């Protein structure tokens, strides 16, 4: 698989695979995604800004070089974090050396920050840590020393402006809610002209890979979200009048389906998305999703199985491969409508080939139509 290697959020050559509810597919320039929506649809996006959550430093007891990737908050105002040994993003995550053993009370020097290990969380690389200092000192230290979490498919250092979507607001995400890279002010204005609603929520998008298969199986971690009253009201009005909810990204799907799981309605306020969406999930809120392309075996792919049957996912995979779509956060996109009866499948389908993996060797300016049903 060849990944998108340049951190460009909205390249002119970005493409879209449109997958209709009946399984028909079409390849288009990505900016055409708005043309595929209907008047009355409501688009919901994640406005979380991305933290510089990668902190390099030293494990004081052993003197070993380490990288700490913040991955969530803990109930005692600390952080959940994934630890790596020496090295950086230029080495594949799965090839990184192991960090030293961590014990409760171990001190970590992370640039201008000091941290204490509170506990390991059922895995030697998954830690609960507490950064020392006042809130202003902690957040200033993260801003000064931290870097955006990055993986080896990108050849240049990421900057914060690379990973903030155009609607970025509260800095609570640990990796970017990158489906939102497709948005810009021109597209938001086009939504308004076409009588398509647009609202936001804030979901603390977590990390996508740890390099450890056992730990990766626990992804996504529990992720907090907040839904404003205006957003909840707009979604509930749309549902009441049988208009579609279109999620921009898997984080929005996860937040809305958690919020609406019990009643099929959305309550305003904050909560924690602690569920895993998969083939066995019954989606109650979201009718379509704009997403990036994802790797085999990922939690993102498990979520896709709630939208489409296995045979359709296999055809999507073939189409993405045939048309050389780019993968990862700066890659191309898919607009996937929920199929009727998609939830009739069960978790046995999770062994299916990834629908969102593909080999990519470049961009084409002329985009053909493909994969008629």
Residue 104: give its domain's CATH number: 2.40.10
User: Cα(294)–Cα(313) distance, rounded to whole angstroms?
Assistant: 12
Position 344 pLDDT exceeds 80: no
Domain that residue 234 falls in: 15-50+157-351
Position 345 pLDDT exceeds 90: no
Average pLDDT, stretch 305-310?
91
Same domain, 241 and 118: no
Sequence-distant (≥ 6) Cβ neighbours of residue 311 within 8 angstroms: none
- Identify whether the C-beta of residue 117 lies closer than 8 Å to the C-beta of residue 131: no
Report the chain's terminal Cα–Cα distance, integer Å: 26
pLDDT (0 to 100) of residue 350: 37
Residue 298 pLDDT level (bands cut at 50, 70, 90): low
How far from 265 is each of 74, 236, 284, 285, 355, CA to CA, in Å? 28, 6, 9, 8, 30
Same domain, 106 and 177: no
pLDDT, averaged across the chain: 89
Residue 373 pLDDT level (bands cut at 50, 70, 90): very low
Last residue of a domain, one of 122, 145, 168: 145
Average pLDDT, stretch 2-30?
92
Same domain, 284 and 316: yes
Of 332, 318, 273, 276, nearest in space to 301 by CA: 276
pLDDT (0 to 100) of residue 176: 97
Of 173, 281, 228, 194, nearest in space to 44 by CA: 228
- Identify whether the C-beta of residue 149 lies closer than 8 Å to the C-beta of residue 207: yes
Tell me the three state secondary structure of residue 238. Answer: helix
Average pLDDT, stretch 197-208?
97
Q: Which two tokens stand for residue 147?
A: 């870097």
Of 23, 125, 35, nearest in space to 80 by CA: 125
- Domains of the chain: total: 2
For residue range 23-60, what is the model confidence (pLDDT) as tens digits?
999 999 999 999 999 999 999 999 999 999 999 999 99
- The region that residue 320 occupies, defined by phi over 0 for left and psi between -120 and 50 for alpha, beta otherwise, is alpha
Position 244 pLDDT exceeds 50: yes
Greatest mean pLDDT among 4-8, 125-129, 151-155, 354-358 lies in 125-129
Asked whether residue 225 is domain-assigned, the answer is yes
């Amino acid at each position: 698989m060849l990944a998108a290697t340049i951190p460009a959020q909205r390249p002119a050559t970005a493409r879209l695979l449109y997958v209709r509810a009946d399984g028909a597919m079409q390849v288009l320039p990505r900016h055409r995604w708005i043309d595929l929506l209907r008047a009355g649809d409501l688009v919901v996006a994640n406005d979380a800004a991305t933290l510089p959550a990668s902190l390099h430093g030293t494990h004081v007891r052993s003197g070993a070089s380490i990288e700490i990737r913040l991955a969530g908050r803990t109930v005692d105002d600390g952080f959940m974090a994934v630890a790596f040994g020496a090295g950086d993003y230029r080495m594949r995550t799965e090839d990184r050396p192991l960090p030293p053993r961590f014990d409760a009370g171990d001190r970590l020097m992370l640039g201008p920050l000091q941290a204490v290990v509170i506990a390991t969380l059922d895995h030697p690389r998954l830690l609960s840590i507490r950064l020392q200092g006042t809130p202003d000192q902690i957040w200033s230290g993260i801003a000064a020393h931290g870097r955006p979490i990055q993986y080896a498919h990108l050849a240049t250092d990421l900057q914060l402006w690379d990973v903030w979507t155009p609607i970025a607001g509260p800095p609570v995400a640990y990796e970017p809610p990158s489906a939102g890279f497709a948005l810009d002010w021109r597209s938001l204005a086009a939504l308004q002209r076409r009588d398509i609603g647009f609202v936001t929520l804030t979901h603390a998008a977590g990390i996508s890979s740890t390099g450890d298969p056992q730990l990766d199986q626990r992804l996504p971690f529990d992720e907090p979200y907040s839904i404003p009253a205006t957003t909840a009201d707009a979604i509930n009005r749309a549902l009441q009048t049988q208009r579609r909810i279109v999620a921009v990204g898997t984080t929005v799907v996860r937040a809305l389906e958690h919020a609406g799981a019990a009643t099929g309605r959305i309550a305003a306020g904050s909560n924690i998305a602690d569920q895993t969406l998969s083939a066995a999930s019954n989606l109650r809120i979201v009718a379509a999703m704009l997403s990036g392309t994802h790797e085999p075996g990922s939690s993102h792919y498990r979520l896709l199985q709630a939208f489409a049957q296995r045979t359709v996912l296999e055809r999507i995979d073939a189409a993405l491969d045939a048309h050389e779509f780019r993968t990862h956060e700066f890659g191309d996109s898919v607009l996937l409508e929920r199929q009727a009866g998609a939830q009739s499948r069960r978790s046995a389908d999770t062994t299916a080939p990834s629908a969102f993996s593909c080999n990519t060797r470049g961009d084409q300016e002329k985009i053909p139509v493909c994969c008629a049903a």
